Structure 1
Amino acid sequence: MDRIRAEPELSHAQRRKVIRVTYVIAALDITWMFMQFSVTPFLAKKLGFDTLWFGYLQTLVGVLQLIGNPLFGRFGDLFGAQAALSLSCGATIVFFLLLASAEHPAMLFIHKLPTLFMHVLPASQMVVTDLSDPDRRADSLSKLGLCFGIGMIAGSTLGGHLNTRYGEKFTACVGAVGSAFSLLLVLKFIPKTTKAPTKTNSEAEKRSLFSLGEITRLLKYPGVTPTFIVKIAAGLPSGIFQSMFLIIALDMFKLDPEQNGYLMAFFGISQMFIQGVVIGPLTARFKEPTLLLLSIAISAAVGLGQAYMQTMVHFCLTVVPMMFFLSVFNVITDSILTKSVPSSDSGTMLGLCAAVQSLLRTVGPTLGGVLYVNGGVMSIGLTQCAVNVAVFGLLLLKPLSSDHHTSKTHGE
């Protein structure tokens, strides 16, 4: 297989420029993805899908992403940032073209197959991780969350208008054109590799892309496995609630589509504020293990609040602290994990982090359905509270350390 060649190290100004362009690429990709969310449900309904089959469709995406994330991260480490982002943007173009041509139920399943390679956000995280200083990594990664919020609002709004006025096919074609533009940005501005030239890089190039051992060996680094356990244990309850949110909104709060849109916008604005304004100063003032404890404590309080909420006002009061937990928790755990491995393995590590999110999205709906049917919203909220209290107690007894930095990165 081809190997990336060592390039001259980027200057400080060049690194900042690449990071800014990466933020733009990530924001555009999220925009196209949320624009797609305004197409697929309506098209699925037209093609005769019921709730069960639509659930199967979403499960397929979760499984494909679960498999693809670690492999894609490994691909980025071996072949470089430009190749990784190009592959992802190219897969997104195919994804939208297949969606535009979907006239049979089977085509909806076929059009999801490219999601195996659609990992623009993890690839963007790899670029930011490689080019940012370790002390500012959490802040730099949080800006990608800001891009997510921008893309969520822009994509939902644009997709709704295009689908209403011009239909599903036209909207999907716009997504394909937009993804092609993203690909041009990647080819123009993203260097072939963003990693510092080290001996570790040349060793990594000799390893197999499909070697499970080369991917799982990262779990042997100090602190990596405990951090992953915390990431899964504390993240699963909130993932369950997110997977059941639409059902709760319809059953408990009786929201219509317009009101649901306003609520999603509130989610996006809250996330943008926290990722863009709050996380930076927090990471500059407090150590990462401290922020991790704070986020888990807040998640426990949010679960308790959601267990006893009665009105939409009560729920809105829990949204901001819930978004704070999700933003801080994911950024801090990703930052700790990427600092725990060599820079040559940052893509693989971020792929494993993304795989955790895919795993939670895959099992969350099933567990959420069981809890909701048997105990309602209260059972989901109390589960989140109890699990996070337990994780908080364990971290007090045996804190995670963010001091074992084996990676060497550029300064931003």
Structure 2
Amino acid sequence: MDRNAAAAGPELSPARKRTVIRATYVIAALDITWMFLQFSVTPYLAKKLGLDTLWFGYLQTMVGVLQLIGNPLFGRFGDLFGARAALSLSCGATVVFFLLLASAEHPAMLFIHKLPTLFMHVVPACQMVVTDLSEPEKRAESLSKIGLCFGVGMIVGSTLGGHLNTLYGEKLTACVGAAGSLFSLMLVLKFIPKTTKSSAAKASTEAEKKSLFSLGEITRLLKYPGVAPTFIVKIVSGLPSGIFQVMFSIIALEVFKLEPQQNGYLMAFFGISQMVIQGAVIGRLTARFKERSLLLLSIAGAAAVGLGQAYMQTVVHLCLTAAPMMLTLSVFNVITDSILTKSVPSADSGTMLGLCAAEQSLLRTLGPTLGGFLYVNGGIKAIGLTQCVVNAAVFVVLLLLQPTSKSPALRESNQRPDKQH
């Protein structure tokens, strides 16, 4: 081992890695629980404080913009300063977020309480830890378990937030979120090491002394072989699905006339479906098939789901499309994240995951505007057909245009024969 690698510190033992990964899953599940808990607070508090639908939309757009800016910088922060610092910053910002929400007495405070979202990136930070500590061939399966945590948090957070808000009001519910986020911070300080990078990656980062705010250092990752095409596919194919997600509450209310209780049951169904898919399905798929095959399958599935959504007329039809929708979304997000992180050096995995998270923020920022336009002019049929046509076109392009230059990780996954069990 060279001098720089030795100075970077010893590698974590396999047992220590497993402990850190398990703790990371718990931290991710708790963070998602607190976020869904606040979803049961903000709309009702906004209504009490006199915020109309238009201004509430501005509030949501503000969050999307802040996260769009913060995600790449935060990923870079994690690469430079380590996992513990990144998760501590995120959990600390979440505590401030809930305390400001609990003290909101004026509509302006609702906007002020969203400012900490610039630093609230617990899930990308957890993905960074799992990426650093998992073996490349098991990375997709390890990342999929973050999605399992999402399903758990969705169900627990929505249920807990609804009961607390009904029984005790918005302020106490927000205080519970602050206390929960403080507990998450304590778990970070207890279980997460200062850095989860390998010795070679740590030595490389320390030797180069890169700048946190260097846009060039962030965007240079797009120059690695295979990264830019995969990132374009992630944005283009993911946008129509993102539009449906951000428009879902309106669709549920206006098209299917769902009452709040019925909507809660439907959200629980989505959460359970995601838990089953992330926990029991994706790991088996990634062990059996090549990543490129799964990517094509998820895009083709998204096109079929879009066609089904365009012509659904009842809640039963919606439920029938929900399971394949969750499956295609989960596979698509896990596989693209896995391909992209394996296409760049391990020292830059956090920055790459930050860019992936920024893509999600971009979709949430553009989705309401594009979704509103499609819905007003063509209803749910226009949204579904857009998803079908866009994903079908991406599928055909990927089949016809084989990439001439691939990243080593993607090339390896394409050359490896499908495993049969």
Task: Report the TM-score, using the length of structure 1 for normalisation.
Answer: 0.96
User: Which of 237, 240, 245 lines up with 1:237 in the alignment?
Assistant: 240
Partner of 1:202: 206
Partner of 2:313: 310
Partner of 1:39: 41
- Spell out, residue by residue over 1:47-92, the C-alpha distance to the aligned partner (whole angstroms, 9 max, x if none): 0011100000000000000000000000000000000000000000
Aligned residues: 401
- Spell out, residue by residue over 1:13-59, the C-alpha distance to the aligned partner (whole angstroms, 9 max, x if none): 00011000000000000000000000000000000011100000000
Deviation, structure 1 residue 7 = 2.7
In structure 2, C-alpha distance between the alignment counterparts of 1:128 and 1:335, rounded to whole Å:
11
- Map 1:12-411 onto structure 2 (within 5 A): 12-198=14-200, 199-204=203-208, 206-399=209-402, 404-405=408-409
Task: Report the 3-state secondary structure (helix = DSSP H, G, I; strand = E; otherwise coil) of the residue aligned with 1:405.
Answer: helix
Task: Report the 3-state secondary structure (helix = DSSP H, G, I; strand = E; otherwise coil) of the residue aligned with 2:408.
Answer: coil
Given that 2:227 and 2:407 are in contact with CA atoms closer than 8 Å, whether structure 1 keeps it comes out as no
User: Which residue identity is paired with 2:195?
Assistant: T
Task: Report the 3-state secondary structure (helix = DSSP H, G, I; strand = E; otherwise coil) of the residue aligned with 1:341.
Answer: coil
Deviation, structure 1 residue 403 = 5.5
In structure 2, C-alpha distance between the alignment counterparts of 1:203 and 1:41, rounded to whole Å:
48
In structure 2, C-alpha distance between the alignment counterparts of 1:87 and 1:7, rounded to whole Å:
23
Task: Report the 3-state secondary structure (helix = DSSP H, G, I; strand = E; otherwise coil) of the residue aligned with 1:367.
Answer: helix
In structure 1, C-alpha distance between the alignment counterparts of 2:207 and 2:377, rounded to whole Å:
53
Deviation, structure 1 residue 399 = 4.1
Deviation, structure 1 residue 305 = 0.5
Given that 1:307 and 1:381 are in contact with CA atoms closer than 8 Å, whether structure 2 keeps it comes out as yes
Deviation, structure 1 residue 110 = 0.1
In structure 2, C-alpha distance between the alignment counterparts of 1:58 and 1:261, rounded to whole Å:
21
Partner of 1:11: 13
In structure 2, C-alpha distance between the alignment counterparts of 1:251 and 1:367, rounded to whole Å:
18
Given that 2:84 and 2:189 are in contact with CA atoms closer than 8 Å, whether structure 1 keeps it comes out as yes
Partner of 1:409: none
Deviation, structure 1 residue 398 = 2.5
Given that 1:47 and 1:104 are in contact with CA atoms closer than 8 Å, whether structure 2 keeps it comes out as yes
Given that 1:336 and 1:402 are in contact with CA atoms closer than 8 Å, whether structure 2 keeps it comes out as no
In structure 2, C-alpha distance between the alignment counterparts of 1:210 and 1:203, rounded to whole Å:
17
In structure 1, C-alpha distance between the alignment counterparts of 2:96 and 2:402, rounded to whole Å:
45
Deviation, structure 1 residue 310 = 1.0
Unaligned runs of 5+ residues in structure 1 are 407-412
User: Which residue identity is paired with 2:235?
Assistant: I
- Spell out, residue by residue over 1:188-216, the C-alpha distance to the aligned partner (whole angstroms, 9 max, x if none): 10000000011423235x01000000000
In structure 2, C-alpha distance between the alignment counterparts of 1:255 and 1:83, rounded to whole Å:
43
How high is the sequence identity, in percent, across the aligned residues?
Answer: 81
Q: What value does the CA root-mean-square deviation take over the aligned residues?
A: 1.1
Task: Report the 3-state secondary structure (helix = DSSP H, G, I; strand = E; otherwise coil) of the residue aligned with 2:240.
Answer: helix
- Spell out, residue by residue over 1:87-136, the C-alpha distance to the aligned partner (whole angstroms, 9 max, x if none): 00000000000000000000000000000000000000000000000000
User: Which residue identity is paired with 1:380?
Assistant: I
In structure 2, C-alpha distance between the alignment counterparts of 1:394 and 1:75, rounded to whole Å:
36
User: Which residue identity is paired with 2:197?
Assistant: K
Partner of 1:410: none
Given that 1:7 and 1:193 are in contact with CA atoms closer than 8 Å, whether structure 2 keeps it comes out as no
Unaligned runs of 5+ residues in structure 2 are 1-6, 411-421
User: Which residue identity is paired with 2:178?
Assistant: A
User: Which residue identity is paired with 2:166?
Assistant: T
In structure 2, C-alpha distance between the alignment counterparts of 1:389 and 1:93, rounded to whole Å:
43
Deviation, structure 1 residue 397 = 1.4
Deviation, structure 1 residue 385 = 0.3
Given that 2:76 and 2:354 are in contact with CA atoms closer than 8 Å, whether structure 1 keeps it comes out as yes
Deviation, structure 1 residue 402 = 7.0
In structure 1, C-alpha distance between the alignment counterparts of 2:320 and 2:302, rounded to whole Å:
13
Deviation, structure 1 residue 404 = 1.4
Given that 1:339 and 1:402 are in contact with CA atoms closer than 8 Å, whether structure 2 keeps it comes out as no
Structure 1 residues 324-333 or 195-204, which shifts more? 195-204
In structure 1, C-alpha distance between the alignment counterparts of 2:191 and 2:406, rounded to whole Å:
32
Deviation, structure 1 residue 331 = 0.3
